[in-house]
Structure 1
Amino acid sequence: MIQWYQEFIAADIVHRSTILCDNGTALVLDTSFSLQVLELHQKLVAFPARSKKENLKVYAGYYYRQKSKTNNAEWILLLPGYTIYTKLNNHYFQLKINTNTHFLVFWWAYYKNDKTFTHIINSGQDFSLFKSLYTNYPELKNYSFPWLLGFFDSNNVAILQSTVNEIYPNLFSINSDLKIAYKNEQTLKRSLKRKAIELEQNKENENSNLQIKNRVIIINGRKTLSSQYKQALIVKYNEKVEQIYNKNRVISRLEKKLTQLQTKLNSIDSSTDLVQFEDKNNNDTLELK
């Protein structure tokens, strides 16, 4: 059975991705809105976690979370543009961080049963970590602020930290491998979108519901793959890309060596011609004598 988040992501695989929760539920992270790093992010200042005032403006850009008594705390970056779609108590919500002059604004929308997130039933905003959402829907109080936004995912937090680190270096110790992997994944998604558009156009031009492209059946509609299969497909693709890259490096080195050998050979030939020329001249001189 296709889940709501699988359908929603399929509509824009370039900008949407899943954040899976331990209890089996899922959030959808939408990166179609550009993340903004503001001046307030250059200092590690956190929102008061227990503020009850919805319109209390705080000059802060972080949420400070203590993981547990044994683990270190972490600074969670709050960036304007950060957007989450989720299903809470069988109803659909959109959560987004915006900015108003020098302060962060926490905007939300309620869609009831509309899993396409098209028709807003109710919406609101505040300056205090979605306090107005909890006020309007008190049944959501069991969901903490970091849980609502997918900040339980350490990779997600690290990627956000790497974003601010590009503007304000040395704030965080960033895992460079994670940063590279995230950028590669975004590049792959854009490439997949271009290929999907190309295949769709080819089908329209050939006026056929079924095609075979590179021994793959192309049909109308979408092929459903589980998240595990999708990850396996991405890994396999990257393995092939790496193999091609390594082989191209070998070819490049061999071509360089071949060029060097050819240059050396030409030099030897030139030297041989010169010696032969000198010998001939010497012989001609002797004959004249």
Structure 2
Amino acid sequence: MIGILFFGVIIGYIFLVKFAVTKIYEYTGEKIVRNIALAIFLLIPTWDIIIGYPIYKVLCWTNAGVHIYKTVDDVEGFYVGKRDSKFEPHEPYEGYKYIDYKEMNHYKPTGKYYRSYWINSNTSKDCVKPRYPDSPNRKYTKAFKSGKCIVKKEISVSELSQWEYDLSKNINKNVVPIVGISMYIVVIKDKINNKIIAKNISYRLSNNWFLGFLRNITISKGKWASCGGKKSMLNETLKIKKRKDKMAMIKEYLDYAELAQASYVDGLKVGMFGSGYVVDGKKYFC
């Protein structure tokens, strides 16, 4: 239905332009006047894109993308800002061990901070119960029934991670409002030193006023184009601490056991053959 509306309006405008330009030419008899009229009619629905798109592309080429000023190795988790208790459990980002957050209760702060992380047991008193226990296809319900759970552990402010990735603090502002260009900035911050260590800058060009007007009648204005960083700023900046897989841990344990056994055997040899006494220059072993 929406597509038919768009198509109908565009076709109607084309016929309107053809009719108006023809009448102007018949009235004046001047080709230059006809061409100016045609250009004006074409610019009426498209002027903001014709002006705005080159500006948007220059901003994309010169400033958009991921900018990393510092990388951090062996990161297990980070602070994510406010999280509401009604949406628990709050799952850590993939690959990271935990997230820290400031608890809200129906959008009101409780004054408490928590650390959220997975454990391989669902019997702990700190386990967060599934919100939908009767929905077995939900991810957390399925994980809980398999014996895992997300723990919600209260921590002090001093225990919060030094690194902050708080999407609620992202910057969103219009940089060229007349043609609908906006800038969106996502940052990773060092909370202790109050410094931004990485940011991802993206730009968005809104639908032109004509198409935007038509879309607003039905849904929303939407966007014409957008650009930004392609790589994962989070993983490139806060590098995940590598965990040894089970086979590597078993191999390490066996190597340790082999060394311990060899050391024990050497100790026995010294005890059995290395001790003795000397009589008249001859050594006798015990």
TM range (shorter): under 0.3
Larger Rg: 2
**More contact order relative to length (CA 8 Å, sep ≥ 6):** 2
Flag the structure with higher strand content: 2
- TM-score, normalised with respect to structure 2: 0.25
